[in-house]
A and B are shown apart, each in its own frame.
Chain A
């Protein structure tokens, strides 16, 4: 069975500071990893996926299979980045089931 762990429930930074949201996973096969975000009063939405290796809204995430991690990083946080962030995993054997972590609330102070 797969599992996703986000060790920080809350993370606070000041505007312009770097931010890193941690995500660790356990899965014996080859997973796909994603970050989903939920802004205040909005729906949960996909932020980025590891395969695309894109930078979305300044965020990047690298899959480290050795450390089984998929941390989300941004060099200069903005106030509009304040949101709930969920790391999610899709097992290679699954049609589309996502396994989510518990989420991290990011607050960026002015």
Chain B
């Protein structure tokens, strides 16, 4: 296991298009997190899954954003009708259930909306 993986690493899209990102966590980790990071800022929490259940969502996650983890393994984050303000690095992290503070981060997907 090489750690958390994310695909794609880079995505350029036009305003108004939909995009979907994938995250594959470390296999034995049952918790999965999505964060968004803009230039000069730290990661901002978007949402969290325990197994397939989405247990926490940030108010940052507008109705254009949806995340799923259908089988409790990989997760997808979809952004509909993208806006230029959505341009950011989208980070995925995973952790063991009894160590939620020790989050293992993926390399991120950099989204550019033109």
Per the 8 Å Cβ criterion, residues 24-61 of B in contact with A are 31, 33, 35, 40-45, 48, 50, 55-56, 58
Known contacts A45-B104, A95-B55; decide if A100 and B95 are in contact (CB<8 Å).
Answer: no
B42 touches A101 (CB 8 A): yes
Complex Cα spacing A102 to B95, Å: 22
CA distance A55 to B103 in the complex (A): 19
Given the interface contacts A43-B3, A95-B48, does A102 sit within 8 Å of B100 by beta carbon? no
The residues of B that contact A88 with a CB separation of less than 8 Å are: 42
The count of A-to-B residue pairs whose CB atoms sit within 8 angstroms is 62
Closest approach, in angstroms, between the C-beta of B81 and any C-beta of chain A?
Answer: 26
Q: Is A70 an interface residue (CB 8 A)?
A: no
Cβ < 8 Å to B, chain A residues 85-110: 86, 88, 90, 94-103
Q: How far is the CA of A34 from the CA of B105 in the complex (A)?
A: 15
Residues of B contacting A95 with CB < 8 Å?
Answer: 31, 48, 50, 55-56, 100
**Contact for A98 among B3, B40, B45, B104, CB less than 8 A:** B45
- A96/B31 in contact, CB under 8 A: yes
A43 touches B107 (CB 8 A): yes
Whether A90 pairs with B43 at a CB distance below 8 angstroms is: no
Q: Which 3 A-B pairs have the closest CB atoms?
A: A100-B42, A96-B100, A44-B105
Task: List the interface of chain A (C-beta within 8 A of B).
Answer: 4, 9, 32, 34, 43-46, 49, 86, 88, 90, 94-103
